Structure 1
């Protein structure tokens, strides 16, 4: 019985800790197995019946000596000793209710843990997607940089080739111009050294 009372007291304290309401001014039979309901305030009166421990009762307000008059849950009015009346909710009623509340709290805790686990899983998935996106962006950036470097190198090569082609064109023009000038000079020299035809002199009798 003491162990039961200790366990019940612990559960009741747990209920107070979570702020569960307890009915005020509620009377019940104390934690004996049962008590006898007698017709008057004393053991000499006949027994009306027994009232189990934890049964809610209502005091009528009449008291005599160590006895108090009550009305039980069956509507019977009789007397019991005052120390057999507890002005609180019976542990026999409180314990099942407290156990049910503990079960409800455990279920709520499990549901909350499941929700937290789902949220954590979603956050991990989002982080994984974000990391994949960052890696993909870094790869794209690296590819763009590589392509840009290759284009820069190709551009420099094209510049050098273009410059080389322009130099070749100028050299060809110079060569062609020099050949033309040399050919003209050669032709001029040849013409200058060719013998000129002599004209016949006109005499009296005709041309000489």
Structure 2
């Protein structure tokens, strides 16, 4: 069980790593590359590529923006922010990697999904364990019935053997009695007096 949880956590970390790479590579529907305002700053949105241009507003740290143009000479970048405002910010404040603000909700959702999957796996495992326990109980019951059947069979066989032995003894006894009776009958007939013949001849 512990090994399965370790493998599951490893899969979670791996999937998060690949998700970070996919998020970092996605492009906005608008023209230009997707960039992010650095998490550790608060920057102003200017009307032109420089600090001397009018401030149009501010961009929250970690906000997702679309890079439209890059002024390398002044080191400013024209962006389109989440409020659909166009403006210029210092190019040093633009990152290619997703901000923590963007990543955390996705990671939380993935963690919750993995937790649900893990819970489902644990539930399935409990169900399988219960089925195995039921099958073992059924096997034990069948073994008990088999033992009882074999014992009954042995008793029946013993009864049959005893009956056959009794039948043989009975036949032997009857045969012996018949032989003795026949011998006695023969002896009796032998010792019976014989009837004399009458002599009718004339002298």
Instruction: Give the shorter-chain TM-score range.
Output: 0.7 to 0.9
TM-score (structure 1 length as normaliser):
0.76
Query: Which ranges in structure 2 are unaligned for 5 or more consecutive residues?
Result: 1-11, 26-32
Q: In structure 1, what is the equivalent of residue 35 of structure 2?
A: 27
Q: In structure 2, what is the equivalent of residue 16 of structure 1?
A: 17
C-alpha distance in structure 2 between counterparts of 1:133 and 1:144, whole Å: 16
CA deviations over 1:118-148 (Å, ceiling 9, x no partner): 0121122112212221221122112202221
CA deviations over 1:31-90 (Å, ceiling 9, x no partner): 035311112233222211011122211111231333212121222222111121111222
Residues 1:179 and 2:180 are matched in the alignment = no
More displaced 10-residue stretch of structure 1: 125-134 or 106-115: 125-134
C-alpha distance in structure 2 between counterparts of 1:18 and 1:136, whole Å: 58
The equivalent position to 1:60 in structure 2, one of 68, 71, 74, is 68
C-alpha distance in structure 2 between counterparts of 1:139 and 1:68, whole Å: 89
Q: In structure 2, what is the equivalent of residue 99 of structure 1?
A: 108
C-alpha distance in structure 1 between counterparts of 2:99 and 2:52, whole Å: 28
More displaced 10-residue stretch of structure 1: 48-57 or 16-25: 16-25
Residues 58-207 of structure 1: pairs in structure 2 closer than 5 A: 58-63=66-71, 64-183=73-192, 186-188=193-195, 191=196
CA-based RMSD: 2.8
Secondary structure in 2 matching 1:21:
helix
- Are the equivalent residues in 2 in contact too, given 1:26–1:88 (CA < 8 A)? no
TM-score (structure 2 length as normaliser):
0.78
Which of structures 1 and 2 has the bigger CA Rg?
1
Query: Which ranges in structure 1 are unaligned for 5 or more consecutive residues?
Result: 1-10, 202-208
Secondary structure in 2 matching 1:62:
strand
Residues 1:41 and 2:42 are matched in the alignment = no
C-alpha distance in structure 1 between counterparts of 2:124 and 2:35, whole Å: 42
